[in-house]
Structure 1
Amino acid sequence: VDELIVAEQGLEIGKVHIGAYRTACTRFIPKIIRTMESQYPGIEIKLSEGSVDQVKEWLRSKCIDVGIIIPPDKEFDTVPLIKDQLIVLMHSSHPLSQKETISIPDLQGEDILIGKCGYEVQIHALFNEYNLTPKVRFEMDYIETGLSMIQEGLGITITTKQNIWWLPDQVVFRELKPDTFRDINIAVLDMKDISKATDAFIQTTLALFAQEDA
């Protein structure tokens, strides 16, 4: 009853358990939580950080209320959050760094460092569009590993602009052309079954990103 009374007054209370992959936790989630705590001080927020696959499993098992994920995501109810542009990272001495933009055929035969955070499916699909197969040299869990390997001239990687908030010495990026994006979505198991606290999180997140796009 207390929750109903408070909710009617617009002062949401309750709990929301968020699951997000590492980049989302670094780039998006802190600002969302700070805004939530300011606007809805009665809502208790819990955060779990894991891989994209872990976040999806937590959604399935109802360990979390809402997740930040990337496709494929047909088994969940989703709300588009942002489109994150794909870029190619390489050593500044790499011949491809002389090009203004990079196409997938440019990458044929190059040593590819591939991230495990949901990039594998999309990258293989991009190469497949040109009937090519990426020459994967190493798989990595974290972009920091890829950056260090690029510094040592061990290959190049495809990632997204949101995934990069700094570049070490001798590492440069070029945009992938044609413009290619990775969708980042808010996901719940069933939108008809979400709590007021979860809805408040979704609406706060969408409002924040609408401001950034403006």
Structure 2
Amino acid sequence: MNEKLHQELALIKGLEIGTVRIGTFSSVSIQWLPRLLKEYHDQFPLIETKLLDGNYHEIENWIVSGEADFGFVNVPTQEGLEVIPLKNDKMLCILPSNHVLREQSTIRLEQIVDLPFIMPVAGCDIEVQRIFSTVTDSIRFMYTTIG
């Protein structure tokens, strides 16, 4: 994964001074970018990096409009964008320690479809909605802000 990202960043390497704008969302900003951006800044100290935090749809639009030079999104994307897959994430089910399903190594979607769960922020929930739509078309997703 890092090698693919480094290859993309290397395309910008001819640029000695300026700004690189990256469309990203929270988990990428927290988990991947700190180390990668430090390495990049060590190699190219005169290039400023700006992070634009948004959801998949916003990031795609920023790339199309030129507000972002590149970004991290979920596939599939809107037509016309070049996509380089970096990582396939597993979808995980995190349960309370006293939950009846906690001992199972595999949980079927049908077992949890009617249970309350924490939904990703609107716009970053595409994959969750796609997965749940395979079970039922009647699910209504509710969004709330915690904090």
Fold match, TM over 0.5?
yes
Scaled by the length of structure 1, the TM-score of the pair is 0.53
Superposed CA deviations along residues 84-135 of structure 1, whole A, max 9, x for unmatched, are 1110112111111121221212213222332235553322332333x43575
The equivalent of 2:23 in structure 1 is 19
For 1:50 and 1:123, locate their aligned partners in 2 and report how far apart those are by CA, in whole Å: 17
Name the aligned partner's letter for residue 42 of structure 2. S
Residue aligned with 1:109, SS: coil
Task: Specify the alignment match of 1:210 in structure 2.
Answer: none
Helix, strand or coil: the match of 1:80? Answer: coil
- Read off the aligned partner of 2:16 and give its amino acid letter: I
* Long gaps (5+) in structure 2: 1-12
The answer to which structure has the higher helix fraction is 1
State the alpha-carbon separation in 2 of the partners of residues 21 and 65 from structure 1: 15
**Structure with more strand by fraction:** 1
- CA distance in structure 1 between the partners assigned to 2:52 and 2:125 by the alignment: 23
- The alpha-carbon deviation at position 140 of structure 1 amounts to 4.1
Task: Give the direction of change, closer, same or farther, for the CA distance of 1:134–1:87 in structure 2 (3 Å limit).
Answer: farther
RMSD value over aligned CA atoms? 2.6
Moved more, 39-48 or 84-93: 39-48
CA separation in 2, counterparts of 1:124 and 1:38?
40
TM-score normalised over the length of structure 2 = 0.74
Structure 1 residues 78 and 11 mapped into 2: Cα distance closer, same or farther (>3 Å)?
closer
- Please list every run of at least 4 consecutive aligned residues from structure 1 whose deviation after the TM superposition is greater than 4 angstroms: 133-137
Number of residue pairs matched by the alignment: 133
Larger Cα Rg: Structure 1 or Structure 2? 1
* More contact order relative to length (CA 8 Å, sep ≥ 6): 1
Separation (CA, whole Å) in 2 of partners of 1:64 and 1:20: 10
